[in-house]
C-alpha cells in the first residue's frame, strides 16, 4: 500500500507541475466562457434577420403579420412582382409574398414565397406558422365568429404536472433533466479523457522501458493502482477548480448586473419592465434550483465519478500494458471498452426524460453504464427519479464491477507490461488473465 501511495504521489506531482495542466485547468473554462460570450454577442449584435416583403393586395392580413424569431415582415403597397424581384436583387428584402387582389381566404389556393437566397428549414417553418395563424383567424371570422368568441376558443388551459407527493412540478422537472444530462455528460467526458490518459501513461512507460526498472522494486499491480490513483486525483483537482471557478463566475455576474445604473435602465425603451421581468425570472429560477436535492446529487456525482473512473481506467491500463509501439493496436483494443461508454450516453438521453423506463433502469444498474445513466435519474430525486433500493443496488453493482475489472486488469497488466514484440489480441489477453501464476 505504501508503494502504491508513492507511485500515486509521483504520478500526481509530475502531472500537476506540467504547464499543460495549468493551461488546461485555467484556459479551458476561459475558452468555454469566451465561446459562449461570443455566441451571445453575435446573436444580439448580428444583423442576420430575414426580411420578407408582403404585397397584400387582398388585405388578407390587415397590415399585420407577427414576427417570429429571425423572420420579420414588411408590408409594401403598389408593388408588382417585377418591382419586388428588383428589390430582392438590390438586397432590400430576402423574399416576398405576393397576394393577388382576388385571393379567397376560404380557398385552398397556394401562396408562394419568392426568395433570393435559400431560406433555412427553421425559418421556412416560422414563415408558414405566422401566415397560417393569421389565415386561421381570418377563416373563423369569415364564418361570423366574433373576435371575443375566437379569443375564448383559443384560450389555453393552464396545465401543471405535479407528483403524487406534491413536491415535483413541471419547472423542476425541466431543470432536473438539464442537470441530469450535464452531470451524465461530464462523467462521459471524464471516462474518455482520463481513461485515455491512463492508457497513454502506461504505454509511454512501457515503450521507454521505465516500467522494467520500476517493477524491479514494485509489484505490477501496485504500479497500476498507483498510476490510476494519481491520475484520478489530478482529474478530481481539476474538477474542484472548475467547480470553484463556476461558483465564483455565477456569483459575480449577478452582482455586476445589479450594480448597473438604474437611471440608465429607465432611459432604455422597456428597460424598467425588462429589469422587473428579469428579476421575476431570477426569483423563479432560484426557486427551481432550490427544488433540486443537491445534498443527494453532489455526493452521488462524486461516487459515480470515482467509481466509473476506477472501473474504466483499470481496463484502459490493461490495454496500455499490452500494446507495443504501434498506436493502431491500442485503437483496435479499446473499441470493446469504448462501446459501453457510448451505449451509456445513448441510454442517458432517454433516462433524463423517462427515468423509470425498462432501459433506463437496466442502464442505471449495469456497472459499465450506471455512472452515466444513474446521474440522469438522480437529478429527479428520490422517489421521483429513482427508488432507494435501485440506488443502493446500483452502487453495490458498481463496487463489485470495479473490483472485478481491477482484478482482471491486474492479471493482464502483470504479464503485458513486460511482454514485447508480440502483437496483442483480446484472446491473448484473456489467456494472461486466467493463467495460473
What CATH number has the domain bearing residue 94? Answer: 3.40.190.10
Is there a domain that residue 161 lies in?
no
**3-state DSSP assignment of residue 199:** helix
Is there a domain that residue 218 lies in?
yes
Is there a domain that residue 128 lies in?
yes
Please indicate, yes or no, whether residues 395 and 251 belong to a single structural domain of this protein.
yes
Please indicate, yes or no, whether residues 263 and 342 belong to a single structural domain of this protein.
yes
Q: Which three cell numbers stand for residue 363?
A: 442502464
Q: What per-residue confidence (pLDDT) applies to 352?
A: 86
pLDDT (tens digit, 0 to 9) for every residue of the chain, 437 residues total? 677 888 888 888 888 888 777 777 777 777 777 777 777 666 666 556 788 888 888 888 888 888 877 788 888 887 788 888 888 888 888 888 888 887 877 777 788 888 887 777 888 888 888 888 888 878 887 777 777 777 777 777 777 776 666 655 555 677 788 888 888 888 888 888 888 888 888 888 777 777 777 777 777 777 788 888 888 888 888 878 887 877 777 676 656 555 545 554 444 444 455 455 555 555 555 666 666 777 888 889 889 988 998 899 888 888 888 877 676 777 778 888 889 999 999 999 888 888 888 899 999 999 999 999 999 888 888 887 889 999 999 999 999 998 888 888 888 887 877 777 777 777 777 777 777 65
Length of the chain: 437
Q: What per-residue confidence (pLDDT) applies to 255?
A: 61
Which helix or strand (DSSP H or E) is residue 54 part of? strand 50-56
Please indicate, yes or no, whether residues 133 and 175 belong to a single structural domain of this protein.
no
Q: Are 176 and 379 in contact (CB under 8 A)?
A: yes
SS (H, E, C) 396-417: HHHHHHHHHHHHHHHHHHHHHC
Is there a domain that residue 155 lies in?
no
Please indicate, yes or no, whether residues 97 and 181 belong to a single structural domain of this protein.
no
Is there a domain that residue 131 lies in?
yes
Is there a domain that residue 160 lies in?
no
Please indicate, yes or no, whether residues 264 and 308 belong to a single structural domain of this protein.
yes
Helices (H) and strands (E) in the chain, counts: 17, 4
Q: Are 407 and 221 in contact (CB under 8 A)?
A: no
Helices (H), ranges, 96-143: 121-142
- C-alpha span between 284 and 166 (Å, rounded): 18
Bridge partners of 56? Answer: 99
- Report the number of distinct structural domains present in the chain: 2
**3-state DSSP assignment of residue 115:** strand
Please indicate, yes or no, whether residues 280 and 408 belong to a single structural domain of this protein.
yes
Which of 31, 7, 4, 28 is CA-nearest to residue 238?
28
- C-alpha span between 175 and 289 (Å, rounded): 7
Range of the domain at 75: 46-145
Outline where DSSP puts E strands in 76-126. Answer: 95-99, 113-115
**3-state DSSP assignment of residue 103:** coil
How far apart, in Å, are the Cα atoms of 88 and each of 51, 75, 97, 360, 402? Answer: 10, 15, 12, 52, 65
Please indicate, yes or no, whether residues 27 and 51 belong to a single structural domain of this protein.
no
Please indicate, yes or no, whether residues 88 and 123 belong to a single structural domain of this protein.
yes
Please indicate, yes or no, whether residues 205 and 293 belong to a single structural domain of this protein.
yes
Phi, psi of 423 (to 5 degrees): -70, 120
- C-alpha span between 298 and 286 (Å, rounded): 18
Please indicate, yes or no, whether residues 283 and 373 belong to a single structural domain of this protein.
yes
Which of 410, 377, 196, 245 is CA-nearest to residue 300?
377
- pTM of structure: 0.68
Please indicate, yes or no, whether residues 118 and 223 belong to a single structural domain of this protein.
no
Amino acid at each position: 500500500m505504501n508503494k502504491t501511495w508513492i507511485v500515486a504521489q509521483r504520478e500526481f506531482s509530475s502531472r500537476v507541475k506540467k504547464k499543460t495542466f495549468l493551461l488546461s485547468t485555467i484556459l479551458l473554462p476561459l475558452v468555454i466562457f469566451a465561446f459562449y460570450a461570443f455566441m451571445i454577442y453575435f446573436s444580439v449584435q448580428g444583423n442576420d434577420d430575414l426580411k420578407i416583403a408582403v404585397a397584400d393586395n387582398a388585405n388578407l392580413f390587415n397590415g399585420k403579420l407577427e414576427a417570429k424569431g429571425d423572420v420579420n415582415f414588411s408590408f409594401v403597397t403598389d408593388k408588382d412582382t417585377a418591382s419586388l424581384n428588383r428589390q430582392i436583387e438590390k438586397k432590400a428584402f430576402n423574399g416576398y409574398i405576393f397576394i393577388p387582389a382576388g385571393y379567397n381566404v376560404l380557398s385552398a389556393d397556394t401562396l408562394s414565397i419568392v426568395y433570393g437566397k435559400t431560406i433555412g428549414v427553421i425559418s421556412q417553418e416560422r414563415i408558414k406558422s405566422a401566415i397560417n395563424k393569421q389565415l386561421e383567424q381570418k377563416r373563423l371570422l369569415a364564418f361570423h365568429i366574433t373576435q371575443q368568441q375566437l379569443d375564448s376558443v383559443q384560450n389555453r388551459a393552464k396545465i401543471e404536472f405535479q407528483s403524487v407527493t406534491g413536491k415535483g412540478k413541471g419547472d423542476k422537472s425541466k431543470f432536473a433533466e438539464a442537470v441530469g444530462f450535464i452531470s451524465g455528460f461530464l462523467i462521459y467526458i471524464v471516462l474518455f479523457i482520463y481513461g485515455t490518459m491512463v492508457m497513454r501513461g502506461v504505454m509511454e512507460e512501457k515503450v521507454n522501458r521505465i516500467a522494467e526498472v520500476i517493477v524491479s522494486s514494485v509489484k505490477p499491480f501496485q504500479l497500476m493502482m498507483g498510476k490510476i490513483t494519481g491520475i484520478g486525483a489530478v482529474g478530481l483537482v481539476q474538477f474542484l477548480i472548475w467547480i470553484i471557478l463556476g461558483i465564483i463566475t455565477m456569483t459575480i455576474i449577478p452582482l455586476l448586473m445589479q450594480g448597473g445604473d438604474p437611471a440608465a435602465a429607465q432611459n432604455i425603451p422597456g428597460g424598467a419592465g425588462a429589469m422587473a421581468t428579469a428579476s421575476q425570472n431570477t426569483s423563479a429560477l432560484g426557486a427551481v434550483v432550490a427544488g433540486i436535492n443537491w445534498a443527494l446529487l453532489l455526493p452521488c456525482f462524486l461516487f459515480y465519478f470515482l467509481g466509473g473512473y476506477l472501473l474504466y481506467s483499470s481496463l484502459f491500463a490493461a490495454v496500455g500494458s499490452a500494446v507495443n509501439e504501434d498506436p493502431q493496436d491500442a485503437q483496435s483494443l479499446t473499441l470493446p471498452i469504448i462501446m459501453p461508454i457510448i451505449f451509456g450516453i445513448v441510454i442517458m438521453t432517454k433516462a433524463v426524460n423517462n427515468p423509470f423506463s425498462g432501459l433506463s433502469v437496466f442502464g442505471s444498474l449495469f456497472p459499465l453504464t450506471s455512472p452515466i445513466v444513474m446521474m440522469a435519474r438522480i437529478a429527479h430525486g428520490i422517489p421521483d427519479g429513482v427508488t432507494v433500493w435501485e440506488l443502493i443496488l446500483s452502487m453495490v453493482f458498481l463496487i463489485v464491477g470495479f473490483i472485478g475489472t481491477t482484478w482482471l486488469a491486474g492479471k493482464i497488466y502483470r504479464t503485458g507490461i513486460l511482454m514485447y514484440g508480440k502483437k496483442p489480441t483480446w484472446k491473448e489477453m484473456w489467456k494472461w488473465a486466467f493463467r495460473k501464476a
